[in-house]
Structure 1
Amino acid sequence: MSIINLIRRYRYDRADFRLQLGMVINRYRVNIIKFFCSIVSSINNSFFTFHFRPINSEDYNLWSDPVYSTPLMALVMQGPLKKENNFTLESIRIYKKIFPNTHIIVSTWEDEKEKYIEQIKEEGVFVVLNKKPLVSGFGNVNFQIISTINGLYKAKELGVEYVYKTRCDQRINGINLNEYFVNLLNYFPSAGGFKQKKRIIASSYISLKFVPYLLTDMFQFGNVDDMINYWSCELDSRSKSNRLIKSIRDLLDVKMSEVLLCSSYLEKIGRKNKWTIEDSWHAFADHFLIVDRHIIDQFFYKYDYYNEFGGHIYRNITNNQYITFLDWFNLYTNFSNKKNNKLESVIDLPTRSTIINKNYEY
């Protein structure tokens, strides 16, 4: 359709104009985006890329490879329901396609709209309704603990061996993950002598390399008993911290939510935390396993979600850098090869500080 015809439709029929304009944009959307990317690339002297993910399950037609056997599993989606674009509901429908032999459990709050809860139940999943805590805990950790642990208890009641923990405002688009994660746990046994059956797998997203014991609380996978042990954490009596957070050490001193959960779990399984980067790396190498966010195709429908790789920059290395599978594998296979004598000084730097070479011994 020509520009002149579009202008005419705008003058005489606004509704039809919007319809026709939408059709034109959809037809040329890739070219439009490529043109936009070229402009951004020129301005920033960088390569700018983009990626499409389906909003609705009807446009998602991937499936996991058929296998002869797999342990019974559960996938716990916790937290407030994401109703925009029916996100939580459409995520459930996608999970039913790609997670075979897996119970889906939605653990949310009792004040959610009944109509939406009924729509979720109609998908044949289990719903756990929780009372909100009176005290939120630092970083709202109590909300996470309550909705997660009750979802995990439901998974245990269903007799599963392994369980995923994710959120209602996140979506995992990857396939073959049941097989992949079980194979990883069998191939990389956890360190002996501790009260842990298997490693806990966690996403690289918000698992930080230079902040001791900061393992992401957004996406995890493990043996159901290990996962219950991890999330059986005492509720935090704080609503906020009065301490001004300037450095990584401040994050450790106030025990922000991820640090609180991980450090408490390590103590429960019999490990004594030394609160150093080196000790945290040893704990990650012994008890956890990091998988890269892009492998599980993790999408977080919150905050600045358009900027998916915002934490991955090339101009410098900062002390809030994510730890990746590559990092974890190098720690696991050859920890003694790391020169990290001067690394602990990073803890006293302001958060998001650039780490320069003098922090390492070469």
Structure 2
Amino acid sequence: MNTQIALAGTIFVTFLWGSWFQTVKHTGNFPVHAFISMMYAVSVVIVWGAIGFLGAEMVPHGVLNEMTGNRPLALLVFACGLVFGVAMQLQLTVVKRIGLILSTSVSATCSILGGTAVSMMFAGIPEGVSIVILVTAAVLLILAAILCQLAGSRRDREAGRLEEQSSRAKDVLFLVFINLVLMSSYPLATSMGLRSPLRPEGFASLTCMGLLVVGACIGSSGFTFLSWKKEENWRKRKEVPMARLLFLAMLAAFCHFGGNVLHAVFAPVVSVAIATVMGNSYHCWSYIWGLVYGEFKGASGKTCLMLGSGILMFLAGVVLLSLEIV
């Protein structure tokens, strides 16, 4: 696979990652925690289905043989998936308490910082790739996320619907811990678990994702089970038919973990470090979807200018990274 195809594929993955959570808007009052666990359960079927169809071609020695041939690494990737699944659920819990505006700014900043640091330390930086460029691109993405979030805050103030936020220090610090530490389990799994020129001892992409998705499903489902009694009659709170919920879960799974599989295929080609930093530009698509849904309709010119500037900064970060590898 040449670098240009891998680069285009990595950018497409950011679209998938930035789109999957849009399905939650169509789940009615069905508990989000339960829906996320449904999505991960479907993801297991999708990823292992892909292993069944493509495993012989993409992993000639066999996925199970790869796992048993390096048990410590297999356990590490599985554990990373476990932590990632729990972290996703914990983040949703904190968002409910401190509000979407504050939580998005904190989570985007910390996830970009954590992912960049982890990938640079554990995946390594290929010869000819500048650390300064990687750090500059990460800073651009962080500033872009903050700018877009400020635009969202202005939009809500202008519309008189600014959400109540409880910026309790403990909740904010916990959110920092989730995104800076727990969410970094995904870049850690790809940095150490994927085979690349700098890590020839790693797994093939399907093997790595097969372990990661099982861990994420168990972690997420375990969290949902433990919080089940706290959800008041969640079985009864189901406005959306189960068939539609399953369809939405499938769509989310294809975008989320389908994107993860594609990212695992493309990342070793463009370098895991670059792919990780570039992958964080997925936040941009969340705001583009907001424009599609008309969420900024009627916003002032200053708000639209702020949002446009943030999106342009996202693009600048992606272009900067692209120029480094083409």
- Whose helix fraction is larger, Structure 1's or Structure 2's? 2
- Which protein shows a greater Rg? 1
Task: With the length of structure 2 as denominator, give the TM-score of the two structures.
Answer: 0.24
Q: Which has the higher strand share?
A: 1
| Higher RCO (C-alpha 8 Å, min separation 6) | 2
- TM-score, normalised via structure 1 length: 0.22
